[in-house]
Amino acid sequence: MICVLLALSCFILYVLSHAVAFRAGLIRFELIRIFVLMLLWGIVYFFVANSIRLELGWKSSLFDLPLFWSSLLLYVLMSFWYFGETTAVRHPSPSMKIVAALSKNGGEISAEEIRKQFSNEELIVSRLNDLVAHGHIKYDGNSYTLLPSGDLVVRIFRRYRQLLGRNLGG
């Protein structure tokens, strides 16, 4: 149980330290820095767990502490959840934007009012530009062509959708 409490504490401290670093302007939404912060608190978990083991006079290895690995996995999964949340905050999905629009308008909105908030520029063109920037497709000034990394993504997801027996998503 100690390891679980330690993992939860490390997760809370990870989120709080990001909040402090964010407010200080040291780490904003840079995914690599957030990831490094997550690793640092993971290392703290190892050191503190080892200190507890020594304090309790536990003779076997650190890795044999009851629930050591389960707690570590709990920390990693919760940290990745937070990692995902920081991405979702930056790039809210259209579904989230619909719910946000409803929430902002007192929980009720007409189809027309929702439609006004979505444009091809925002939903299609900006994402095509993003795919170009990440090297998945190229733009020759007139049309878009798939690059090898984009082709790989298409192949993987096509197989996956075939496995599920579903048509294209999006």
Partner 1 sequence: MSHLDIAVLTSAANALFAFLVFHVLLMRVFKAINMPFLILTSIVLGVFLNGFSFNLVLEVSGINKEIPLRLSLFSAVLSVTLYALLVFHYIAWIFGMSEAAIRIRLLFEVGKKPHGGVKVGEILEHYNAATILEVRLKRLVTAGHIRFDGSRYQIRISPLLIQLWLMKGIMKLLGADREDVPGNKSKREG
Strand partners, 138: 145
To partner 1, the closest distance from the beta carbon of 42 in angstroms equals 16
Cα–Cα distance list, 88 to 7, 81, 97, 163 (Å): 24, 10, 11, 27
What is the Cβ-side half-sphere exposure of residue 109, based on CA atoms within 13 angstroms? 18
Tokens for 39, please give them.
């690793």
Decide whether 44 or 74 has the Cβ nearer to partner 1: 74
Minimum CB distance to partner 1 smaller for 48 or for 76:
76
Q: How far apart are CA 111 and CA 115, in angstroms?
A: 6
CB of 55 to partner 1, least distance (A): 18
Tell the smallest beta-carbon distance from residue 63 to partner 1 (Å): 6
